[in-house]
Structure formats: structure tokens, C-alpha cells
Structure 1
Amino acid sequence: MTASDGGGPGVDLHLELSAAGGRRAALVAALREAVRGGRLAPGTRLPPYRSLAADLGVARNTVADAYAELVAEGWLTSRQGSGTRVAERVAAPAPRSVRPTAPPPLPHDLVQGKPDPAAFPRTAWATAARRALAAAPHEAFGIGDPHGRTELRHALAEYLARVRGVRTAPDRIVVCSGAAHALRLLARVLGPADPWAVEAYGLPFHRGLLAEAGITTLPVAVDGDGARVADIPRPARAVLLTPAHQFPTGGPLHPERRAGALEWARDSGGLVIEDDYDGEFRYDRRPVGAVQGLDPERTVLVGSVSKSLSPALRIGWMCLPSALVGPVVAAKGEREPHSSATDQLTLADLLSSGAYDRHVRRMRRRYRLRRDRLTALLAERAPAVRVTGIAAGLHAVLELPPGTERAVLAATARRGVAVEGLDLYRHPDAPHPGGGAGDGLVVGYATPPERLYEPALEALCDGLDEVLGV
């Protein structure tokens, strides 16, 4: 039977009363087991006698007597004006582990891709949420539109045009739960018949989700000027690029190659998919505009707030060619199951009020200083190690001497540094650079708390010194 508080100050309570024995004994046994097993935590207030008796179909005195017996045994406490509660000294036994415990995380987190979680603009977000909820129409709390909230799509169209040079309209923006969700939807729309070209260095996760959709990926070599778009294989239906800041090697796509990618798309009937994962974070100059602005009908721009705000928000977007809007919305489904409508409304307010711009500028300064501290310490402690790519984003690549990547990873791990090697991101079908060239570390400098950042960099340099003797 389920016992509820009947509108009183207790709690909803599910109890199974045994058919054997009297009702009082069965109630005592059920309550004792609920406390012993941890379903009723210490301090939990139980329903009043009358409420529990009515829900269980027993006499009020039966409940009173059961409570009194458990109070006498020490399972419960009863005080005037406070009701009957689970005794504080009664603690549920710790659950036994059925699997070996995972090793503790390394103390110095320099893994790429994660913004500083402590920097989330809580006050600005809370203020925007209050305004957004007060202004939201009633229909915002019903079944979601698979296009995404109109307020957010209008705010994104204005913001992306102003900051990233994007040419789009609200009805050509589809809100999704992040870049991965966007790629899954595009993979579903384009289908598995034709391969996609991808940069020879990129996220294994993205290649994996395309493989799950039955899509073959063909690597395109990258260098200091980004992807070599002249080498895009002709059978490819789409090419996935990171033009603003090649991930992870760090070079921007050269202007001639930007034009070349679009020329390939026009000649082949293909599609350029632009992953604008950290396009707002350029430190050496103003951010370069998106490729999408050069040809909106041949480019899909994919963006999210995973780097600028938090990956926990699960909000991303696609700026689509007109012909793809309907198919993408159809692939997404009639209901919006992914991004919270209230979070979308809050982000729309954050964008429209200018609070998002202020936060990005603040984080740009913070991350630039962190990158500067990394490069300065390396120049002092490991001058033979070169930081490649442009000053941008939340990570940097440290170029290592050929054949040293694995040894450096082992040495830094012994010093408690979590960091990744460049080879992790190489496409499995891309040729490995000859002689072990291309070894490197991908260092994320955004995540560590400020007090731990310097120790993390020192430990990293200690690991480099052990292997390289610098």
C-alpha cells in the first residue's frame, strides 16, 4: 500500500504490509525495514497518525502504537510540535560495491575541451531566467517546437550576424542539444550512401557517431593553414571542417582554402559543415568571420554554448541552407525532447541583454592570460617545446620531438597530470607522419581552478624535463 501525507506535513510513504500477523505488527515491521534499508533517511518526518491510518485502512490507534514501539526501540523520535521523525542516529548501511572502484582522477586536469566550471555566470543567468520566465507566453510550457524557441532563434540570428558574420534568418536556425546532436541529425538527413570528408585530426567522438550512422569518413590532411581542401575526395557528400581554429592542431583555415572549400561544394553538389566550436575565442586579433557567411546555401554552421558557458546546458544550433530546414526538423521529430524551453528562453535573454557578450569578453581575457602563462613557463622551462597554432580557444598543442609522445604522457601522468596526446585525434586511416613526426600534447588550460593552475603547469614541465632533458 502507498501511504501519503494527506495534505499534512509528512511525506508520501510506500509501505508493503504483510498479510501474515496483525496489522500493528506488519506496520512495525514495514517501517523498521524502511529505516534499516535507508529508504527513510535520518530526520525524515513521518505522516501524522490520522493520515497514515486513512491511507493504509487501519485504525488510528494502530499507527500510534506502531510509532510508539519504534520510538521505544530507538528507530524513531517523537517531540511535541515536531511530529514523529526517523532517529538521527539510525544510519543506513553503506551499499556494497559490486564493481571495482574507479581510480581517482589525477589532481591536475589539463584535458582539452572543458571551460572553467567555476566561471559560469550564475548571477547573470539567474537574472536572465527571472526576466525570461516572467515574459514567457503560456505556450512556452507546453509541447516544444522542434525548430526551437522563436525567442532564441531571433536572438541567435542577430548575435551570429553581428559577431561571426553569419547570414541567416530565424526560420533557418534549428536549435539542438549540441554539436553531436547536430551531426547526428545531419547524418540522418544526408544518409549513409555517400562518405563524408573530415579533417585528418579531429574529435574521435564525432567520427564515431558518424560511423554509428553508417557513414564512412575519409581523412583530409591538415597543416598550418588548416585543411588541405584541394584534397577533398570527390566521392564525399559533405566535408566537416573547423575553419576558425582547426581542432586540435590550432591553425585557421587560410582564406584561399575557405574559398576552395566552397568551390568544391558548388562543383560537387556537396555540403560544407562548419563546426564553430570556439570561434569567439581569438586572442591575437578579432575573430575571423564564419565561412557560412560566404555561401549560406552550401554551408551548415554548427555552434553551441559548451565552450562559452557550460556543456551542462545542452544547447546548440544549426544555421541551415533553406532546402535542409524541413528535412532536419522532420528528422528531429514533432516534439522537442532535448533542449529545455526555459533554458532556451534564458539564453535568448542573455544574448539580447548583452550579458552574453560581457561574459565572453571576460572569459576571453581570462583564457588569454592562461595561455600566456603556459607559453611563458614553457619558454623558461622547456624552450625546445614549441606551442603551435594561433592564440585562440581553450587548448594549445605542444610540439614534441619525434617518438617522445608516449614517454611524455607517462611522465606527466606520474606527476598527476591528466593530458592527452595528439595522436589520439588522428583519423585511423590518415597516414602517420614519417619518423614519428607529429608527436605532441593537447593541453587544455581552461579547467583547473586558479589556485591549481600554476602547480599543474609546473608538474607538466617536470614531466617534459624528465623525458626531454630540457
Structure 2
Amino acid sequence: MTGIPPVVLDRAARTPLAVQLADALRAGAASGTLRPGDRLPSTRELATALRVSRTVTAAAYDQLLAEGWAGSRRGVGTFVLGAASSSPVLRSAATTVRAAPPALVDLRAGSPCLEVLDRAVWRRAWRAAGDVPPDGHPDAAGDPAFRTAVAEHLLRHRGLPAGPDDVLATTGTSAAVGEVVRTLPRGSRVAVEDPGYQRVVGALVDAGISVVPVPVDDDGLVVDALPTDLAAVYCTPAHQYPLGRRMSAARRLALVARARAGRWWVLEDDYDGELRYDVAPLPLLGALGPDVVVHLGTASKILSPTLGVGWLVAPAALRADLLARRTATGSRPPRAGQRVLAALASSGDLARHLRRLRRELADRREAVRAAVAAAGSVAEGDPAGAHVLVPVPDVPAEEAVLVAAARQGIALDGLGRHHLDGADRRAGLVLGFAAPPRAELDRVLPLLTAVLARYGGRGSGEQGDAAPAAPVPARP
């Protein structure tokens, strides 16, 4: 190929430019616009033509090389591979395609800390669940032992007085939100935090709900910004996702009062609610307003998504509506994972696991904060949960850090994708620390420090080359 391939980049989109470029080139190879054997322009030529940083074009080419869509020959260039071909040029290029890189060390939020989970305890709970006789008839509410265990867990660990009959089993928070809002008329307006949890946004849209973004500040959801014509409000008051702040007591009381006056449901996602490291948690919305609050929890972050279990505590009328819909449609949460959690709770292993988990994550959080501080940056958020927020000056800086970190073998998450309202988009990194084994986390933290020091500061988004600085020495 002698010219520049036809590529259109949307600078207003939330998708990073490097990802857009790789998608466009991949689509061209798949459609035939770019043919096997075509030589692609150099990263510098393409960056000049598209008016982007060479960081963007180099990252896109690296992705295509790793996937096998492109191959390279030293001193000759980068070629389109696509489907198998007898072309001599293609065969030569194919012999030098780089092997897929090892899996990135995942420093994104939302994954559990599996290293803390005692595998002997895990196996014992599954065996105990298997000793329970199989069901002959479905129970739309969930396994009775599970609902009892959840009620005890909520009382002991979250201060929510609820009996087993108040609890319904779910398959997780997003699914529970989708189930609840399907009791509302299609087109109903539901407010969500912005930035906020995009999977819940997807569940709302899938249910035919009109999503209303509402800003978040250091005290949580801005209650005064809520419009009046709502059917429900979704929020994460315990540890706001992704900003990492808790909703203040005053905001909690104001939200419950607004919900009662407007006859709204408040969908309280207790994200990271069990993981607080400084003081006792504030009262749950479900405890302050049991008549208007639907409390949602899940075992995915404190144990594993393998279980596929969550829970819902709601007013009696809504529970009856949900059970009627489950019965009418034959849909109900599977009970195997429920029985495993019940076994963990009844043996005391769940409480012991939570104590180990809090200790480990609190220690990891301090290590991450130290690594961020060593780069001259600040890790924001309350001392809770399994992620912190690292602000960066602007969107180009955010993109540069993501690309540079990936080249160092680190998967990071940018704040940009969590926004619905692009007009007021903040830039930053949603930095998780639960997923990798501790040894891997300690290994990559110095690399993270180097990347942040080079690309996370003011003006870093204008850097031309994404090759990170040499790693700083590991912590003793």
C-alpha cells in the first residue's frame, strides 16, 4: 500500500483513539479494503496523517501484531496478514508475527481478591452444598438457608435489620436492577450517578428505561440535582463507583426524604460495603428508609463471581410483585451458589474470610497509595473498598497512561468510560488492587510509578512516544 488507509477517528468518543484505530484497520483487513500483503504506513507517517500522537499509532499496531492481523519484517515494514495466503510477501511477514503477549497484570477495579480465599474452605463449602438433597420444586424467592444466611450477614456486617422473608436471592446487582425496573412502566426515568456503573446503565436501557445522569461530588450523589419526574434513583453510597467516596449522612437523609416525597424507589447498590478500614460505616439507606429503599448486594467481590449469587431486600409490595413475575416467567436464580454461600456462613468461614480480606486489601491499598505518591500523584477516595482514583490533568494524559501501562504489562482503567455526560468529563485512573496475586502487584507497582511519573503529570498527554521510563527500583 502506498497511501494512508481510510480511517475516521472520533475524538469526542469515550473509546481511546488507539482502540478506534486498531478497530478501523482490523475492519479494513476483514472487509478487503486492506488486502493481505499490503504494507502499512509507518507509525510516524500515520500519526502525522491522522494528527494524533505516535503513541496512538504504535499502540494500535502493537495490538494488531499481537492478534495476528499484521506482521512485521525488520527494515521492510508492517504488513497486513488477514486470512492465510500463498503470497511470498505474506509468508515472509507471517514468520515474524510476534507471539501474543502474556496476560496483563489487572489493576482495574471490580475483581475479587481470590488469593485470600482459602481453597480448602472453598472445597469444603461445595461439598457441604452437594450434601443437600436436590430440589423437586422451584422456589422463586431463593434457597431458605441462603436467605437466612444473608439476613444474618446484613445484620452483623452491615447493620441492616432484615429477616429471611425480607430477602430475595438474585444473580447479581446488575441483574437485580434490571429485574426491579421491569416492574416500572417502559420509558420511566431512573437517575444514575455520573460517573457511575455502566453495567447498570446497560441493564436499565435493556429494560426500556430512560437514564438520567446526575453528578457526584465528594459527598456522593448530588441530591439537589435530582429532577422531580423520576421513578427511581440508583446509587452506590458505601463506596461510590468509580470515585471511591461515601455518601455523607446528610445526603443519605436528604435522598430518603426526596424519595418519599416523590414516591421513588432508591436502588442502593452496597458496592464494597463490607470493606471499610477506618471507622464504622454510616447507616445504610435501607435502614434509614425501608419503605422506599431496595438494598442490593452480591458475593462476587467478597468471594467470587463463580457463585453467581446476590441478594435484594425490598418492601413487601415490591417483593410480591417480583415473585409474581418470576413465577409467571419461570425465571429464578440458580440455587447451587446460594447453598455454597450458606455453607460458608453457617461454618463461620465467611466471617473469617472477610476479616482476612479486609486486612489484605487495607495493606494493598497503602502500597498502591505509596506507589502513586512516589510518582508525584495523589490517590483519592475514602479508606475503603478495593480501588482508588488517581486524577490526571486531561483526557490525552489519561489515554497516554493507559497505553504506556499496557506496554509495561499492566491493564488500567480510565475514568472516561464511566461517564455518561461527556460535557463534564473528568480524567483519571480507576486503580484497582484486588485482582493480582500480591507478588505480581508488588512487581508492577514500581512500573506503575514510572508510567505515572512520565505520563500522568500536566502536559503528559502531549508526549510523542509511549515508551515508558526505566522502572524505578522495587520496594524493599
TM range (shorter): 0.7 to 0.9
Task: Provide closer, same or farther for how the CA distance between residues 303 and 336 of structure 1 changes in structure 2, counting only shifts above 3 A.
Answer: farther
- Matched residue SS, 2:165: helix
- Matched residue SS, 1:155: helix
Contact 2:272–2:301 (Cα < 8 Å) also in 1: yes
Aligned-partner residue type, residue 120 of structure 1: L
2:442 to 454, 462, 466: 454
- Matched residue SS, 1:451: helix
Residue 408 of structure 1 corresponds to 401
Aligned-partner residue type, residue 105 of structure 2: H
1:398 aligns with 2:362: no
1:417 to 396, 410, 427: 410
Residue 345 of structure 1 corresponds to 339
1:387 to 373, 379, 382: 379
Contact 2:113–2:357 (Cα < 8 Å) also in 1: no
Contact 2:193–2:215 (Cα < 8 Å) also in 1: yes
Q: CA offsets, 1:300-324, max 9 Å, x none?
A: 0010100000011100010011110
Q: How does 1:198-213 map to 2 (within 5 A)?
A: 198-213=192-207
Q: TM-score, normalised by structure 2?
A: 0.72
Q: How does 1:264-283 map to 2 (within 5 A)?
A: 264-283=258-277
Contact 2:296–2:311 (Cα < 8 Å) also in 1: yes
- Matched residue SS, 2:379: strand
Shift of 1:289: 3.3
Tell me, in whole angstroms, the C-alpha distance in 2 between the residues paired with 1:116 and 1:103. 26
Shift of 1:154: 1.4
1:226 aligns with 2:224: no
Contact 1:300–1:319 (Cα < 8 Å) also in 2: yes
Structure 2's unaligned 5+ residue stretches are 1-82, 85-96, 459-476
Tell me the number of residue pairs that the alignment of Structure 1 and Structure 2 aligns: 363
Task: Provide closer, same or farther for how the CA distance between residues 455 and 212 of structure 1 changes in structure 2, counting only shifts above 3 A.
Answer: same
Contact 2:234–2:269 (Cα < 8 Å) also in 1: yes
Shift of 1:132: 4.4
Task: Provide closer, same or farther for how the CA distance between residues 344 and 469 of structure 1 changes in structure 2, counting only shifts above 3 A.
Answer: closer
2:190 to 192, 196, 200: 196
Structure 1's unaligned 5+ residue stretches are 1-95
Aligned-partner residue type, residue 286 of structure 1: A
Task: Provide closer, same or farther for how the CA distance between residues 416 and 220 of structure 1 changes in structure 2, counting only shifts above 3 A.
Answer: same
Task: Provide closer, same or farther for how the CA distance between residues 355 and 101 of structure 1 changes in structure 2, counting only shifts above 3 A.
Answer: farther
1:465 aligns with 2:453: yes
Shift of 1:146: 1.0
Residue 261 of structure 1 corresponds to 255
Contact 2:116–2:356 (Cα < 8 Å) also in 1: no
Shift of 1:122: 2.5
Seq. identity, % = 37
- Matched residue SS, 1:420: coil
Of the two, which has the highest radius of gyration?
1
Q: CA offsets, 1:239-274, max 9 Å, x none?
A: 001010111101100101000110111100001000
- Matched residue SS, 2:290: coil
- Matched residue SS, 1:300: strand
Task: Provide closer, same or farther for how the CA distance between residues 105 and 268 of structure 1 changes in structure 2, counting only shifts above 3 A.
Answer: farther
- Matched residue SS, 2:266: strand
Shift of 1:133: 4.3
1:443 to 422, 431, 436: 431
- Matched residue SS, 1:397: strand
1:123 aligns with 2:120: yes
Task: Provide closer, same or farther for how the CA distance between residues 244 and 102 of structure 1 changes in structure 2, counting only shifts above 3 A.
Answer: farther
Q: How does 1:23-172 map to 2 (within 5 A)?
A: 104=101, 106-134=103-131, 136=132, 138=133, 140-172=134-166
- Matched residue SS, 1:175: strand
Tell me, in whole angstroms, the C-alpha distance in 2 between the residues paired with 1:121 and 1:336. 35
Contact 1:198–1:219 (Cα < 8 Å) also in 2: yes
Shift of 1:205: 1.6
Contact 1:221–1:227 (Cα < 8 Å) also in 2: yes
Tell me, in whole angstroms, the C-alpha distance in 2 between the residues paired with 1:455 and 1:102. 23
2:209 to 211, 215, 223: 215
1:432 to 416, 424, 428: 424
Residue 175 of structure 2 corresponds to 181
Residue 56 of structure 2 corresponds to none
2:307 to 306, 309, 313: 313
Contact 1:411–1:464 (Cα < 8 Å) also in 2: no
Aligned-partner residue type, residue 389 of structure 2: V
Shift of 1:221: 0.7
Q: CA offsets, 1:281-302, max 9 Å, x none?
A: 0112233332101111110001
What RMSD in Å do the two structures reach over aligned CA positions?
A: 2.3
Residue 57 of structure 1 corresponds to none
Aligned-partner residue type, residue 127 of structure 1: R
Tell me, in whole angstroms, the C-alpha distance in 2 between the residues paired with 1:389 and 1:190. 34
Q: CA offsets, 1:200-253, max 9 Å, x none?
A: 111222111211111111111101111101211111100001010111101100
Shift of 1:164: 0.8
Aligned-partner residue type, residue 405 of structure 2: T
Contact 1:386–1:400 (Cα < 8 Å) also in 2: no
Aligned-partner residue type, residue 392 of structure 1: A
Residue 355 of structure 2 corresponds to 361
Task: Provide closer, same or farther for how the CA distance between residues 336 and 368 of structure 1 changes in structure 2, counting only shifts above 3 A.
Answer: farther
Aligned-partner residue type, residue 448 of structure 2: L
Task: Provide closer, same or farther for how the CA distance between residues 266 and 416 of structure 1 changes in structure 2, counting only shifts above 3 A.
Answer: same
Q: TM-score, normalised by structure 1?
A: 0.73
